[in-house]
Structure 1
């Protein structure tokens, strides 16, 4: 423990303190996380645990799982990241955020147990979430992986069912530069003789080998379960269950089907009527979130090639007769060209923003990839928003995307 008077820390003192924890990519503190979790008696949560990994769709899959279990009357803990507006969004118990004072208690106990051991910000808050889940009686705990899987802090817990939503190229500095290497990292959440739900249709050979040699009960999309979309409904099929003519969800259909596959593989009894009644009522902030129609304002946290390609398909379905203005902010860890290029054919004007973080790509470094004469650059989000408001017509579309922070900053402006 390296700080004084932590007994007097407020909630915001704690956030300021742990945000100063530095990440050294040459080091991994997984063993430290595991040691502290064991010290606090958190390696076993006495709940049925899902751990949800993958490149994209982890959060959506986790939220769908949470909603189905809550609607079925179970007690549920959910840990997701990152947050959009408030830290307290990251940890929910029974569908509700917790009071700041509860987090203060958790932070204090994790810090006491940490002593002089090094942790990253993410390691620390993951331990805090586990402490909160251990402190109450829960039937189900859902943990969303931060990055990768094998050495992610969530992986100190042995899950009952693990999930991989998909495997794409991202975070290459941490996970590797091929789907095979990334697949190895993400497969680290698998457990021997436990179910692993795989929603990736083109599974890397590395993952197939790990499933086989690790004696993991893999449930693969297209082999063990699948879904089919119709005009106004969809159906789900697995080896032991099927649900016909379900209402279409407002969130990603493949992520909804993945969550449903994970539900039917669990030990819990979930009524079909419950699934049917809640599946189209699930709503998640920042995932193709349409705020208004005249002009149409869309927020999306898409921040890599795969998620932006999915965003492009959705935009084509809803775009109006007007122009598309894209407000984009991107983090340095991302491939800028891969994030903007899928939208070249449909975005009419780009508004490149410097985000309020040291990790922000400079707007001119985004603009260098864009067609000449199609962009403007801004030093702050509020200036981009003011200009777009001035020039956008009621028939236009305003898209805000590129990272969670991009969406967070516009949400802060819109709620002021």
Structure 2
């Protein structure tokens, strides 16, 4: 098969969550273990770092990978979903997996795929683990797909577990309280393996994670109890921050430049800082210079896109992959601070989420351009327009994000600002990304 035929086979043969939602969700580790067993358990051949969370796990994974790479290590990085190209999910030192490897892997594993009937995600996890072994990585950063306890990636025993932010998302799978969701995320905690939690949010979440760590005998650090990352200013497209050790009261890094400028990155950097300190204590060679180089160029080093990314100026256009209430609350507040004229929103959502709370976050004194992602789960633009109208949001409908964005730009004065988002898949459809 050619590469395109191989990708077509994966999408056609296997249930894909991003396309069909709940019908593709296959919790449990048995199938992934069987796939990896047939490959000689490649996930056990190199050290790993496991990253879970509701929001921030992708950015955190990319930042950690960048730091390790700038420290001289050969680094594998597995994340999901992809934005433009399936190969984005599997990278080594920022470079995407080759088309040739994907074709060969699928051809070699067809009999196991037919025998085990795995999900799309289970196959891609096994593919990543196999590729990282073949590529001879020194370490791999592995982002959880959903939850943690029953996520396919959870067959690893990592050097370090990281849990970012926990909020309401995928409740039909993970539970309807923050405590239940925290329990699923805490499922990545392993016996004697250090765990870093980016922030102490509240007792409901903190108590669940603390209990899980105690049962596992896992050293636990709530990063926000130890470090404070403060925004200073924006300069030359970088966010300058200070990092303070709250226990000693000393500033451990001042004027640290970060190319990821979303306000929510302050929380992620806090967790990343604590994580790299744990790695240093375990013997990993990471210097202050390598951290500075990495954080000022994460996008260039690892290929991260779509996180509070500015696409153009006059009018300013920002996109962000925030797709739940917690994420949108922060990005919309930040958008409010950068807009000097009329606010314009190009938004779309998937259809299997309750978006009422998210819609309530958007301002009524703005212009709206409702669209739909090119995804089987897409909420139709006209249906979105009617739902938005219930919240006092008035706008026009478009067949796709690019048509909507083109009209929004055409309607704008130079001082206006445009926000594009609502769904990862809307951002993925932006042609200029």
TM-score using structure 1 length:
0.90
Task: Give ranges in structure 2 of 5+ residues lacking alignment.
Answer: 17-22, 234-240
CA distance in 1, matches of 2:427, 2:395: 19
2:298 is matched with: 282
Further displaced range: 232-241 or 336-345: 232-241
Q: What SS does structure 2 have at the residue aligned with 1:141?
A: strand
Q: What SS does structure 1 have at the residue aligned with 2:115?
A: coil
What is the deviation of 1:215? 1.6
Superposed counterparts of 1:177-188, under 5 Å: 177-188=176-187
Superposed counterparts of 1:345-384, under 5 Å: 348-367=366-385, 368-370=387-389, 371-372=391-392, 374-384=394-404
CA distance in 2, matches of 1:93, 1:373: 44
Further displaced range: 44-53 or 291-300: 44-53
Q: What SS does structure 2 have at the residue aligned with 1:302?
A: coil
1:117 is matched with: 116
Alignment length, in residue pairs? 402
2:15 is matched with: 22
What is the deviation of 1:25? 5.9
CA distance in 2, matches of 1:110, 1:68: 33
Superposed counterparts of 1:161-180, under 5 Å: 161-180=160-179
- Pair 1:236–1:18, CA change in 2 (3 A): farther
CA distance in 1, matches of 2:267, 2:2: 41
Superposed counterparts of 1:243-392, under 5 Å: 243-251=252-260, 252-266=265-279, 267-283=283-299, 284-320=304-340, 322-344=341-363, 348-367=366-385, 368-370=387-389, 371-372=391-392, 374-392=394-412
Further displaced range: 324-333 or 15-24: 15-24
What is the deviation of 1:19? 1.2
CA distance in 2, matches of 1:195, 1:29: 23
What is the deviation of 1:310? 1.1
What is the deviation of 1:93? 0.6
1:237 is matched with: 245
Matched, 1:146 2:145: yes
What is the deviation of 1:238? 7.8
What is the deviation of 1:101? 0.9
1:89 is matched with: 88
Structure with greater helix share of residues: 2
What is the deviation of 1:235? 1.2
CA distance in 2, matches of 1:230, 1:329: 30
The list of structure 1 runs, each at least 4 consecutive aligned residues, that deviate by more than 6 angstroms after superposition, is: 238-242
Matched, 1:37 2:45: no
Q: What SS does structure 2 have at the residue aligned with 1:231?
A: strand
Does the Cα contact within 8 Å between 1:65 and 1:260 map onto a contact in 2? no
